[in-house]
Structure 1
Amino acid sequence: MPSNSSGHIVILGTGGTIAGTAAAAADNVGYQAGQLGVAQLVAAVPALAAHALEARQLAQVDSKDMSHALWQQLAAAVAEELAREDVQAVVVTHGTDTLEETAWFLHRVLAATKPVVLTAAMRPASALMPDGPQNLLDAVTVAATPGTRGVLCVLAGRVLGPEDVRKVHGYRVDAFAADEAGPVALVQEGQVRALRAWPQADPGEAAALQVAMQRPVAQWPRVDIVTSHAGCDGALVPALVALGSRGLVAEGTGNGTLHAALEVALRVAQAQGVAVWRASRCWAGGVVGQPEGALPSAGVLTPAKARVELMLQLMLRA
């Protein structure tokens, strides 16, 4: 996929709060996601008229209900648009709840050299002060800026990378952060201020994953998350294995530490051929180091992203 140059920016709508509406403008929580079409979102931002845009409605979902089938459809749609010579970038409007998972998935399966910019909103479009219009304008600004590349998330003036982005607040408009790495760039008064290198993925693995993910989603390897906590007995592990889990991500405490009972159950599953990774339930820091004999680490990935990554790794082994 060549780097971005002059051309159209395609906006793919998938629903989310950014397209949500409530009965009252003062209601920022009692809304229905995915009520407005992406063309309506674009029309509501007059400044976007300065750009050559195409809007395409791909889905209308609350991102808490994001599915593997929609990921498969979205990845194919983005790849199709990026392959067009007259398209310089793709923007995806998305819900906030699973945005970080979709960003990591697209980063790994596309290895895009043109910009693929995900944006969202914490307030519905019907709010007294919606954040969606500014986020959409900022996303298009990033997509249109020469030199930008890869999968990026643009929210509240920050450009966040797919590895680092995470939702850290359930209500505020500045709900996203980027671990200790910080933003990749900032959007300031219509200008993009780059702070570090744009994200890059392995194109060879991406090509192999694009082939692997063509199989029906019912054949994608099942990967589940189990949480370590006080009083944990590990009983969920054999139940998930019985349901067909081929991989388990343990959401550990602190630096990926696990309740002794959970670790015993996970090691039994591992001996049965189930892939097991440790992640941390702390929002920052990930898992540092690999003590001798410890279960494999997911590194800096959050448990949710680690689940996606382990699923992709298992796809490559199939």
Structure 2
Amino acid sequence: MAVSHVVLLGTGGTIAGQAGRADDNVGYTAGQIGVAQLPAAVPALSRFSLQAEQLVQLDSKDMTHAVWQQLALAVERHLARPDVAGIVITHGTDTLEETAWFLQRTLAPSKPVVLTAAMRPATALLADGPQNLLDAVTVAARPGVSGVLAVLAGRVHGALDVRKWHGYRVDAFSSGDAGPLALIEEGVLKPLRPWPTDEALPARWQAPVAEWPRVEILASHAGSDGTLVEALLGLGCRGLVVQGTGNGTVHQSLELALCKAVAQGVAVLRASRCLGGGVVGAPADALPSAAELTPAKARVELLLRLLVGEGAGA
């Protein structure tokens, strides 16, 4: 059977949002337009064979583990079809990087799984969603592309590096120092770096979400102490990500509490609150590093490692 279809999986977000006025780019309601209706705003999509499936309609700030699991199962099901070239997921921007990393680590797909989104609602005077959707479908239909990707504002980002760095601008996403994997200009895909080729973690993410370990993020800042660590352990947390200052540095009082937690069997990862870069190197006695992962993605990573029994690692 010839590979011909691109599957659109809808989860809501600003790309499917509506506002009461065309000049209102912030006072909108996300997830109002069905994914099957979105291609109507993009006549050029008529040259592709599209199949749409609405999974949920939500603002991605309200993303849940249950939706992640539902999404991963749907992606896995469609990727197994020989007639599917790739998948496009319409998503909100707020947690897109987390969903991307979750899908990359759980599925590591050999076909393209492309997340796309918008910073302006579909009703805006200059909506960015239609172009992003066209670009995303173009990438998903391209033979030889693999991995979980994010396509926004003419750039193709990998799940490992993509991060939302701005809260309002149309070009709100970056791959930091690594740079995008590719550019897409007037429908032409221009690769810059190799596509992701990771191996997927064991499929323990398919366990009921009620059984997933609790992993939380806490921040190091002036005046930090260990009070929140003790409180979170009391709530049953099995993993903690500390959003460190600078190159992942942690206030000495908070670090002491985290080291005690590690001694009790709690997994800890140390990330950086800086918008660019990650954690580079470490003293011999430092808490385990999240390396280039943002704090939000480090939480996803730690959760998945705990599910497969790996812990924080080194």
Place the TM-score, normalised by the shorter chain, in its bin.
over 0.9
5 Å-filtered alignment, 1:167-186, equals 167-186=164-183
Is residue 54 of structure 2 the alignment partner of residue 62 of structure 1? no
TM score, norm. by length of structure 1: 0.96
Structure-2 residue corresponding to 1:290: 282
* 1:268 and 2:260 aligned: yes
Deviates more, 1:266-275 or 1:66-75: 266-275
Which residues of structure 2 form unaligned runs of 5+?
A: none
Q: CA deviation at 1:227?
A: 0.2
Q: Once the 2 structures are TM-superposed, how far is the Cα of residue 235 of structure 1 from its aligned partner?
A: 1.0
Encode CA deviations 1:87-113: one digit per residue, 9 max, x unaligned.
110000000000000000000100100
**Structure 2 counterpart of 1:222:** 214
Please give the per-residue CA displacement for 1:77-133, whole angstroms capped at 9, x wherever unaligned.
000000011111000000000000000000010010000000000000010110000
Correspondences of 1:71-82 after superposition (within 5 Å): 71-82=68-79
**Residue 297 of structure 2 is aligned to residue 305 of structure 1:** yes
2:111 is matched with 114
Task: Name stretches of at least 5 consecutive residues in structure 1 with no aligned partner.
Answer: none
Deviation at 1:12, TM superposition (A): 0.2
Task: Give, in whole Å, the separation in 2 of the partners of 1:37 and 1:258.
Answer: 44
- CA drift at 1:67: 0.3
Deviations 1:283-304 (A, max 9, x none): 2221111211111111111100
Q: Are the equivalent residues in 1 in contact too, given 2:117–2:132 (CA < 8 A)?
A: yes
Q: 2:240 aligns with which of 248, 261, 264?
A: 248
User: 1:28 is matched with which residue?
Assistant: 25
SS in 2 for 1:57: strand
Q: What is the CA–CA distance in structure 2 between the aligned matches of 1:188 and 1:146, rounded to whole Å?
A: 17
Question: In the alignment, residue 56 of structure 2 is paired with which amino acid?
Answer: A
TM-score of the two chains, using structure 2 as the length reference? 0.97
Q: Equivalents in 1 of 2:101, 2:75: separation in Å?
A: 14
Single out whichever of 92-101 and 262-271 deviates more from structure 2. 262-271
Secondary structure, in 3 states, of the residue corresponding to 1:103?
A: helix
Cα deviation 1:186-224 (Å, max 9, x = unaligned): 000101000010012114x2xx1x2x1121101101110
- 2:132 maps to which residue? 135
3-state SS, counterpart of residue 36 of structure 2 = helix
Q: Partners of 2:26 and 2:226 in 1: how far apart?
A: 35
Distance, in Å, in 1 between the alignment partners of 2:40 and 2:197 is 32
**1:239 and 2:236 aligned:** no
The residue that corresponds to 2:191 in the other structure is 194
Q: Deviation digits for residues 117-174 of structure 1, max 9, x if unmatched? A: 0000000001011000000000001111121111100000000000100000000000
Give the alignment's Cα RMSD to 1 decimal: 0.9
Equivalent residue in structure 2 for 1:92, among 83, 86, 89: 89
Please give the secondary structure, in 2, of the residue aligned with 1:38. coil
Once the 2 structures are TM-superposed, how far is the Cα of residue 10 of structure 1 from its aligned partner?
A: 0.2
